[in-house]
DNA sequence: ACCTGAACACCGTTCAAGT
DNA sequence: ACCTGAACACCGTTCAAGT
């Protein structure tokens, strides 16, 4: 049986699968070729280069965001689509870091549609051009920035008690009492990697914007 | 004249200088060796590996943050130290991305002191343990996340008019009216890379925390 | 004690050669 | 039209050999 023909679509899907399981460090032209039973050089027939590959993968992730959620008012709908974005970026934890990586600005169709949607809904909710400008920045930077922050602060695998002990040795309670308390909260909380923490900051932003609109 | 002796301190300083001018992609054991007139392998006598090098560099950046700013009340002081952190990360635009990079959790002395200071000041300002926990996350993720977001969204070099034209060709005004308006605001605003944009989100968070404290 | 040459296992990418 | 072998210019890191 001849293997399935290589297409851009199949390459992007395989790239996402590879990154989901191995992290962004595992995305390599050579590894991706191996996953597709093909030499790395073959990929260049369907993808301009590695950046083009990453752009395509990220475009698909943005495509998973629900931009028309149900909801009674603008605030409820804005919260719902932010949570949908948060969910998508948690499903693909490699994406936020690549999107925010300075040096390679990624202008991507699905991201443009995402921006257009959020900006339009703020304007429709009677936000001024000025407040929409700053409000979008606050929302987008929270969605991408907080999610990346959250992914990086997840408890690493391994025995929590042992982890905590090693941490205490580096930063003794006597010198870092508040830090110790904070870390303990992280341990008992399980991980803070839940919708709650994301929505806490989101709520602050939405509340603030609503009050500023007057 | 024999060249100056290699030390960990000199290596970290040279690394920061290299990254400041060339971006995080320019940090290479080989390039760093060249900058110090030394073979790359020599660095391993003073630094365990590349991650240890990056940890040391980031530690120095955290050390630049003013943790005891003047100010009448907790809110004013919290805003001042957040702005000081923002300044430090803008001086070294490669740092945020490395700090937030998942997969290599960086437990670094200067960062522990930074956390201890902020957590302690929230508790001193009569925030509950619970609110301090979430408030710290909101503040830290805004400081690191927004700053990284901001650095990545700076206008790339080149003729702005030409840039705008290329953008319009990809995303026509008819289909993306709000996006076009937003981009136009970015152009006339110069860059939003100023304290104002950072403080906008910071103000939303501080206001929200103050109200939740009751 | 510290520096280095040679080597190893990786990268992204090009290009001529095959089918 | 699409795939590949060989090659190039890079990586991080180890280790024995030099001083």
- pLDDT of A195 > 80? The answer is no
> What pLDDT was estimated at residue B1?
45
- pLDDT tens figures, A10-27: 999 999 999 999 999 999
- pLDDT tens figures, A147-171: 999 999 988 878 888 888 989 999 9
Interface contact B178-A145, CB threshold 8 A: no
**Contact of B179 with A112, CB cutoff 8 Å:** yes
> What pLDDT was estimated at residue B160?
82
Mean of all residue pLDDT scores within chain B:
93
What span, in angstroms and rounded, lies between the C-alpha atoms of A170 and A164? 10
> What pLDDT was estimated at residue A188?
81
Question: By CA distance, what is B113's nearest residue in A?
Answer: A176
pLDDT (average), residues A129-137: 94
- Report the 3 state secondary structure along A3-22: CCCCCHHHHHHHHHHHHHHH
- pLDDT tens figures, A69-118: 998 899 999 999 999 999 999 999 999 999 999 988 898 999 999 999 99
Instruction: Mutate one of A110, A142, A163, A167 to test the B interface: name it (highest B CB count within 10 A).
Output: A142
Can you give the distance from the CA of residue B51 to the C1' of nucleotide C16 in angstroms?
Answer: 40
Burial grade of B49 (CB within 10 A; 0-12, 13-18, 19 or more)? exposed
Interface contact B142-A204, CB threshold 8 A: no
- Top pLDDT among B47 and B1 is at B47
What span, in angstroms and rounded, lies between the C-alpha atoms of B91 and B93? 6
pTM: 0.94
Q: Is A142 on the interface with B (CB under 8 A)?
A: yes
Can you give the distance from the CA of residue B193 to the C1' of nucleotide C4 in angstroms?
Answer: 45
- pLDDT tens figures, B48-62: 999 999 999 999 999
pLDDT (average), residues A108-135: 96
Can you give the distance from the CA of residue B34 to the C1' of nucleotide D17 in angstroms?
Answer: 22
- pLDDT tens figures, B153-207: 988 878 888 888 989 999 999 999 999 999 999 888 655 545 588 999 999 999 9
- Residue B117: how many other CB atoms lie within 10 Å: 16
> What pLDDT was estimated at residue A161?
87
> What pLDDT was estimated at residue A173?
97
């Amino acid at each position: 049986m001849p293997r399935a023909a290589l297409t851009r679509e199949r390459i992007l899907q395989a790239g996402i699968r590879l990154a989901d399981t191995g992290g962004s460090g595992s995305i390599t032209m050579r590894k991706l070729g191996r996953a597709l039973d093909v030499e790395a050089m073959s990929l260049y027939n369907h993808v301009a280069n590695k950046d083009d590959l990453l752009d395509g993968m990220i475009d698909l992730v943005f495509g998973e965001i629900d931009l028309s959620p149900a909801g009674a008012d603008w605030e409820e709908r804005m919260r719902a689509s932010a949570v949908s974005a948060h969910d998508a970026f948690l499903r693909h934890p490699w994406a936020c870091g690549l999107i925010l990586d300075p040096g390679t600005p990624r202008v991507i169709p699905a991201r443009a549609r995402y921006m257009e949607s959020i900006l339009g809904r703020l304007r429709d909710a009677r936000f001024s051009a000025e407040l929409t400008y700053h409000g979008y920045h606050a929302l987008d930077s929270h969605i991408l920035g907080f999610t990346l922050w959250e992914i990086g602060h997840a408890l690493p695998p391994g025995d929590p008690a042992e982890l905590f002990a090693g941490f205490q040795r580096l930063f003794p309670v006597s010198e870092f009492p508040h830090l110790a308390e904070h870390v303990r909260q992280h341990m008992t909380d399980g991980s803070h990697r839940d919708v709650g923490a994301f929505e806490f900051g989101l709520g602050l932003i939405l509340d603030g914007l609503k009050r500023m609109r007057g």
